[in-house]
Amino acid sequence: MKNIADQLPPEIARQIHPDRRKNEAAYWAVREQLLDQYRGQWIGFADGRVIASGTSPVTVFHAAEATGLHSFFICVGKEEEPCRIRRLASPYDAAYPGEALPLVRVEFRQASRLPGVAFDRVIPDTGADASVLPWLDCQLLQLAPSLGVQGLISGVAGSSAATLAFQIWAWLDGQEYPCRLQADFFGSERILGRDVLNRLEILFRGPAGEVVVNP
C-alpha cells in the first residue's frame, strides 16, 4: 500500500511528524505478524510495538495519542478501508420549507478542559464514522499537520482521499467528549460523527425542527 502521508496535499505532507512516517513504515514491516492477534482491531503502533488496541476507534486513538509517541493508527487487516463520511448531494438549509437539515452548535477543543472554538451549522450525522471539519476550521483550532495522524477518508461515492486525524474534544450540552477529528482538505461541511454521537442521547424532533441533546 502506498504511504498514506504521501497522498496528502504536498504542503501538508511536508509537515507530517517524521515519527509518524517511521511508525507507518515499521507497521508494514511486521504487519503479517500482527494479523493473528489483532485482525479487525484498531491499534496504535509505535517504536515497533502495539501501544494501544481495541474495537472503538476513538478510544484507541486517544489512548495512543496520550503516549506522545506519534503512533501510526490503523485497523489491522482493513488498512485500505477508509473512514466513511456521508456526503450531502446538495446544499440544504435549516430554514428551507421542505426537508430541513438538522444542525447543532459544537465547541471543538484542542486540549481537554480548555476553551476551544465554537462552530455553528455542524451536521449531526449517524452515517459518519468520525467527525469532520474543513481544513480552514482546523487551522482556527491551531491543529498543525505535525500533530495529525495520516489516514483515509471516503464519502458515499466510495472514492477515498488522504486525511489527517486529530485527537481533540467536543463540548456540547455542558459536557466534553473525546473526538476523532478528520481534516477535510477539499470539502466545506462540518460533521459530528458517531465517534461523538454514540456517547450522547440525541433526539431528532423533525416536526419541531430541532435537535435535542441528552433530552
Tens digit of each residue's pLDDT (9 = 90 or more) over 3-30: 888 899 999 999 999 999 999 999 999 9
With bands split at pLDDT 50, 70 and 90, how would you rate the model's confidence at 110?
Answer: very high
Question: Cell numbers 495512543 label which residue?
Answer: 64
Q: What angle do CA 80, 186, 57 make, to 5 degrees?
A: 40
- The span from the CA of 188 to the CA of 202, in Å, is 24
Same-domain status, 154 and 118: yes
Question: Residue 118: which residues within 8 A CB-CB, separation 6 or more?
Answer: 105, 106, 107, 108
Residue 85 located in a structural domain: no
Other beta carbons within 10 Å of 18: 9
pLDDT class for 85, splitting at 50, 70, 90?
confident
pTM of the predicted structure, to 2 decimals: 0.84
Co-location of 130 and 191 in the same domain: yes
pLDDT score at 90: 30
DSSP secondary structure letter of residue 101: P
86: nearest Cα among 198, 206, 182: 182
Burial 70-103 (b: 16+ CB within 10 A, else e): bbbbbbbeeeeebbbbbbeeeeeeeeeeeeeebb
Domain boundary among 78, 96, 131: 78
* 131-167 residues labelled b (16+ CB within 10 A) or e (exposed): bbbbbebbeebebebebbbbbbbbbeeeebbbbbbbb
Q: For residue 164, is it within any domain?
A: yes
Per-residue pLDDT tens digits for 157-209: 568 899 999 999 999 988 999 999 999 998 899 999 999 999 999 888 777 77
Please give the tally of structural domains in the chain.
2
State the CATH number of the domain containing residue 127.
2.40.70.10
